[in-house]
Structure 1
Amino acid sequence: MNSFGSPADSLSHEHEAVRQLTQLLQQEQEHLIAADIDGIASLTEPKAKAATRMAELAAWRHNALAAAGCEASENGMKAWLATSGVSKTTSQSWHELIELAKVAKEINRVNGTLIGKQMVRNQNMLNILQHGSVQGDHVYGPNGQTGGKSVGRHIIA
């Protein structure tokens, strides 16, 4: 896809790229749930390649939109689709692409939440290993007193 044709020319390729990324995100979610670190790590490069491919295709579409006299953006695509001569199939393909992207975005959001929860669990485990409790200062020392030092970070808002 070197020369710029119709902005619709990239849509089938974009569908394929979003589907591929969505599958990778679903696999990542399965690995996150199973706490399979090696499985998660194995998806890093394919996810990056899929995201790069999506960005390249979107840039190509934006350039095609600019060549067609429209804004090089998603809003420009909407305006281009509103022009006469654009088929219903092309318009439907665009809307399907947007829906596919929303699904991928939601899976990615859930994965981020799972990662965040795993990070909290890991931090709690580290606190237990380092201080004997999640809070760190509820362990009785040799003198029978609870530890008085606080090693947690304080956030000032």
Structure 2
Amino acid sequence: MQSVAPAVSPALTPLSSLREEQRVITALLAVLKQEQQQLVAADIDGLTELTPRKAALVNDMAVLASQRHSALGAAGHKAEEAGMEAWLAASGDATAAPLWQQVLELTREAKELNRLNGTLISKHLSHTQGALQALRPQAQGNFYGPSGQPTASSPRRGFLAG
């Protein structure tokens, strides 16, 4: 699945922007679900392939939100999320409000899925750090530094090969 770059239109309206946002957020959700499957399976190669696609889709969403804000401003409303409600009330388009609600719901779903994926990543990282810690040699006595205070690690000795 490739990035679905947002369509750029000289006569972009808030409604056409919403349609593009719905398309891109749906694609982003699919990538986030794939990412979660790869995290559960600990498939690093699969994750590596998904990362650029995810980043491109997140960027596309930011571009589309900016375009929607511009379209709202051009339509005489606040060029921000708050202006969307006023535009919806004034538009008279019966498909606009449900589409906006769907985009908001899909965005909430994507944020939650991304949060859960972040939790999985943290667990993998913690597990990896624990495994690395288990491989490190543990100090076998109390060692003191030049100030007479205990040190956290043992003095290191070089290894000579003969």
Same fold, judged at TM 0.5 (above): yes
Choose the corresponding residue for 1:31, options 38, 41, 46.
Answer: 38
Q: Does 1:96 align with 2:102?
A: yes
- TM-score (normalised: structure 1): 0.81
Aligned residues: 140
Matches within 5 A, 1:9-88: 9-83=16-90, 85-88=91-94
Q: Paired residue for 1:150? A: 152
SS in structure 2 of the partner of residue 72 of structure 1: coil
SS in structure 2 of the partner of residue 88 of structure 1: coil
Q: Are the aligned partners of 2:72 and 2:84 in contact in 1 as well (CA < 8 Å)?
A: yes
SS in structure 2 of the partner of residue 150 of structure 1: coil
Q: Paired residue for 1:117? A: 123
- TM-score (normalised: structure 2): 0.79
SS in structure 2 of the partner of residue 98 of structure 1: helix
Indicate the structure (1 or 2) with the bigger Cα radius of gyration: 2
SS in structure 2 of the partner of residue 71 of structure 1: coil
Q: Which runs of 5+ in 1 are unaligned?
A: 152-157
Q: Are the aligned partners of 2:21 and 2:103 in contact in 1 as well (CA < 8 Å)?
A: yes
4+ residue runs over 2 A deviation: 145-151
Q: Are the aligned partners of 1:4 and 1:60 in contact in 2 as well (CA < 8 Å)?
A: no
Superposed CA RMSD: 1.8
Distance 2:117 2:111 in 1: 10
How much does 1:146 deviate? Answer: 7.7
Q: Which runs of 5+ in 2 are unaligned?
A: 1-7, 144-149, 154-162
